[in-house]
Amino acid sequence: MELIGGRWRGAIMASLCGSPKRFVELKSDLHPITSRVLTKELRYLEQNKLIIVEYGNGAKNAVCYAHSEHGKSCAPVILQLREWAVKHRKLMLETLRTEH
């Protein structure tokens, strides 16, 4: 749970399931995350080999984040988890309504 727990790590991995993303793309995807936190979490995921970082071609400020080969293997797990969470939320909202 340490790997993908916390408020952001799972969300970051989920956001990268589709395609590689730039820093700003992630930032707006995960809004309202702050730069400080996003940076930290990306470094953590990089150290743990779940993502890889490509520093831009040329001297541009173009950095790209993507699932590593190994990070891809967790995509199905993350997506299944999300599906379950959505179902769960529905159920919780229903029981809230029927309790009145």
**Where does this chain bind its own copies (CB under 8 A)?**
1-7, 9-11, 48-49, 70, 73-74, 76-77, 80-81, 84-85, 87-88, 91-92, 95
Contact residue for DNA among 3, 7, 83, 88 (CB under 7 A): 7
In the list its own copies, DNA, none, the entry touching 73 (Cβ below 5 to 8 angstroms by class) is its own copies
Strand order across the 21-22 sheet? 21-22, 63-67, 51-55
3 binds DNA (CB under 7 A): no
Buried b (16+ CB within 10 A) or exposed e, 37-49: ebeebbebbeeee
CB of 76 to its own copies, least distance (A): 8
20 binds DNA (CB under 7 A): no
Spatial separation of the C-alpha atoms in residues 88 and 10, rounded to whole Å:
17
Spatial separation of the C-alpha atoms in residues 84 and 71, rounded to whole Å:
20
In the list its own copies, DNA, none, the entry touching 95 (Cβ below 5 to 8 angstroms by class) is its own copies
Q: How many CB atoms lie within 10 A of CB 9?
A: 19
